[in-house]
Amino acid sequence: MQNKIISYFWGTLTFILLSSSQQSEMISGKVIGIQDGDSITLLTENNIQLKVRLEGIDCPEKKQDFGSVAKQFTSDLVFSQNVTLQITGNDRYRRTLGYIFLPDGTNLNEELLKAGLAWHFIKYNKSPRLAQLESDARLNRVGLWQLSNPTPPWDFRKN
């Protein structure tokens, strides 16, 4: 019981410190978990586990068309890899928001859009670059854009 309290204390303290950090802070770590296409767990160099939600995109849910494809795509690119996280903030579920970069500079967030495995989450992100990547994938009917009328994950979650 005492270990759980101590773990909770350090996790809360870490969250507070990261929440108060400057925008665009860069953190390195190893990806140790993939929850779905746009959510991962990062083990930082300080042995802190961060739940990370990819900034600016929204992948299909696991039970949606292309949901498992998006998760596998993310896993193939970053699982067990050392990556850099560019922190942009926190979401309402206390996850760290940000962009994930592989050692070669590949941006995971952008790769998911290019592969047609995510929507640009325009409600929370106004990046013209991300909007263009989604538009290109739609135009080329890549990934989920092969479907006649794909349901955005935010609509799927409402149901």
112-132 as b/e, with b when 16 or more CB fall inside 10 Å?
bbbbbbbbbbeeebebeebee
Q: Is 61 a catalytic residue?
A: yes
Active-site pick, 25, 45, 55, 61: 61
CA distance 85 to 52: 9
| Tally of residues, the chain | 159
Clarify whether 53 is annotated catalytic: yes
- The active-site residue, picked from 25, 55, 95, 157, is 95
- In the set 25, 45, 53, 129, the catalytic residue is 53
Please name the residue ranges forming H helices in 26-89.
Answer: 67-78
Count the Cβ atoms, other than its own, within 10 Å of residue 55. 23
* CB of 10 closer than 8 Å to CB of 3: no
* Residues 99 and 107: beta-carbon distance below 8 Å: yes
* Euclidean distance between CA atoms 31 and 75, whole angstroms: 9
Which active-site residues does the annotation give?
Answer: 53, 61, 95
